[in-house]
Amino acid sequence: MINIAIFASGTGTNFIALDQHIRENQMPIQIACLICDQPDAPVVKKAHELGIPVWTHRLKEFENKATYEQAILQELQKYDLELIVLAGYMKIITNVLLGAYPQAIVNIHPALLPSFPGRHGIEDAFEYGVKITGVTVHWIDGGIDTGPIIAQQAVPILADDDVDKLAQRIHRVEHDLYFDSLCQVLKQRKLIK
């Protein structure tokens, strides 16, 4: 089995979509654990329902970001992880985890990077008035939504769109593109066919 860990902070629709794709396609991939910095987040409940181990603590329980990430690292080291998959994880990953997992941490962003990085990629693209936005899957390098791009998919902004309609279409694209991109990475590593 190829073990992956998912980091999330909120709703967890990408987490659920990944779990579903893995099951439906009978992939030799196991979501070994969920790491969540918001114990009350819906994603925690979803992981419990699926029987996926959860580590959930708030940053403020720790002295600083480094000790927080060291605690996460201790949890992650229980598993022989191939990838760390950020899916709506609202904290910057720092050197503790980046150093322990080089070339192993991926993120998904709801815009065509390097345009519209940050927390409000969908709203920012909509407000700017671009006609095409999209979704980016990329490696993590310690910046905010920077790092080499693995895959992108364009999503047009339609004349009668509002932010909610656009967000729905972006999320639908995310849910397939993330799984496809992870498979692409694992194929390149010759871990799956």
Least CB distance from residue 154 to ligand GRF, whole Å? 15
In this chain, which of 108, 140, 166, 177 binds ligand GRF, going by CB under 6 A?
108
Assess 46 for contact with ligand GRF (CB under 6 A): no
The residue among 70 and 115 lying less far from ligand GRF, judged by its C-beta, is 115
Backbone φ, ψ for residue 50 (5° rounding): -90, -5
3-state class (DSSP) for residue 128: helix
Quick one: CA dihedral 110, 103, 94, 41, positive or negative?
positive
Omega before residue 114 within 30° of 0, cis = yes
Active site residue 109: yes
Q: Name the residue with tokens 């659920």.
A: 16
CB within 8 Å of 74: residues ≥ 6 apart? none
3-state class (DSSP) for residue 109: strand
The residue among 76 and 86 lying less far from ligand GRF, judged by its C-beta, is 86
**The 132-139 sheet, strands edge to edge:** 54-56, 29-36, 2-8, 81-86, 105-109, 132-139, 149-156
Assess 109 for contact with ligand GRF (CB under 6 A): yes
Assess 12 for contact with ligand GRF (CB under 6 A): yes
The residue sitting closest to ligand GRF, measured at its beta carbon, is: 88
Least CB distance from residue 110 to ligand GRF, whole Å? 4
In this chain, which of 2, 6, 7, 13 binds ligand GRF, going by CB under 6 A?
13
Least CB distance from residue 193 to ligand GRF, whole Å? 28
In this chain, which of 33, 46, 110, 137 binds ligand GRF, going by CB under 6 A?
110
User: Which residues are part of the catalytic machinery?
Assistant: 109
What does the binding site for ligand GRF look like in residue numbers (CB under 6 A)? 8, 10-15, 87-88, 108-110, 174
